[in-house]
Amino acid sequence: MSRKPTPVVLPAELASLNERVIHCERCPRLREYCQKIAEVRRRAYADQIYWAKPAPLFGDPKARVLLVGLAPGAHGANRTGRLFTGDSSGDFLFPVLYRAGFASQPTAVSLHDGLRLKDMWMLPRCRCAPPGDKPTPEEMANCAPFLDEEISLLPRVIVMVCLGRIAYDGIVSHLIRKGLIVARKGYDFGHGVEHKLPDGRWLVGSYHPSRRNTNTGLLTEEMLQRVMDRAKVLAASFSKSGSVVK
């Protein structure tokens, strides 16, 4: 007899943040779009009830690796209620995370599939699915306080892996807001780039596993695997003094 997976219980401060996130109404355009998608639905999911709220927090609270994306997929996390779950980006991503040891299984289809993250936390720059996958600067600014608070509640994070330029720019902005770096100069985006931060942590870039990138070969599984395997090495080699042992 199969057993239902044990629900993940978040620490109190993360649980409080999660409640504020999923009830956020700061961006009327995004809230209207997410609700409309949930009402119209895609034919393949016509019998499903969509989540249709800002994406909840997800991951291992003790994670040393932070994985940052753009936003929930309209028929992915906006439907399932979990980041990178139920869409093509997740179908590409999770086998890689599984092989790297960050995910308990290589598939992510629903909240009830038993998936757990190990030593990894996921967050999007924008917590609501945007039309055309393009949140406005104002919408991303509305989400920035959530992003700042969420990262502050993950004190063990050593490596920040950003999927795509928009996610990467969001983390660079976060680092500037927090006074960890003074400017964007010297922190250019690219696939596989690694920037050691003044506090000893690492900022890593990767192309986003969107269908556009994977179908054209701009991003392959091997390319993404190298990034995730490297993130694991960087996290494991971080010493208590804040330096990385080569």
* Mean pLDDT to the nearest integer, 47-55: 96
Let me know if residue 113 belongs to a domain: yes
Per-residue pLDDT band for 238 (boundaries 50, 70, 90) equals: confident
Let me know if residue 8 belongs to a domain: no
* Mean pLDDT to the nearest integer, 219-226: 98
> What per-residue confidence (pLDDT) applies to 2?
39
Its domain, for residue 118, covers 13-18+26-237
Let me know if residue 187 belongs to a domain: yes
* Mean pLDDT to the nearest integer, 8-23: 94
Query: How many helices (DSSP H) and strands (DSSP E) are in the chain?
Result: 8, 6
Question: In what helix (H) or strand (E) does residue 123 lie, and over which residues does it extend?
Answer: strand 120-124
Task: Give 89-98 pLDDT, tens digit per residue.
Answer: 999 999 999 9
Task: Give 80-90 pLDDT, tens digit per residue.
Answer: 999 999 999 99
Let me know if residue 5 belongs to a domain: no
Per-residue pLDDT band for 9 (boundaries 50, 70, 90) equals: confident
Per-residue pLDDT band for 244 (boundaries 50, 70, 90) equals: very low
Q: Average pLDDT over the chain, rounded to whole?
A: 94
Percentage of residues in the chain having pLDDT higher than 90? 92
* Mean pLDDT to the nearest integer, 178-188: 96
Let me know if residue 103 belongs to a domain: yes
> What per-residue confidence (pLDDT) applies to 112?
92
Number of domains forming the structure of the chain: 1
Let me know if residue 3 belongs to a domain: no
Let me know if residue 52 belongs to a domain: yes
User: Would you say 125 and 72 are in contact if contact means Cβ atoms under 8 Å apart?
Assistant: no
| Distance (Å) of CA 200 to CA 19, 64, 121, 246 | 32, 13, 19, 13
Full 3-state SS string of 47-102: CCCCCCCCCCCEECCCCCEEEEECCCCCCCHHHHCCCCCCCHHHHHHHHHHHHHCC
* Mean pLDDT to the nearest integer, 38-49: 94
- CATH number of the domain within which 128 lies: 3.40.470.10
Task: Give 131-166 pLDDT, tens digit per residue.
Answer: 999 999 999 999 999 999 999 999 999 999 999 999
- Return the SS3 of 2: coil
Q: Name the pTM for this structure.
A: 0.93
Let me know if residue 245 belongs to a domain: no
Per-residue pLDDT band for 237 (boundaries 50, 70, 90) equals: confident
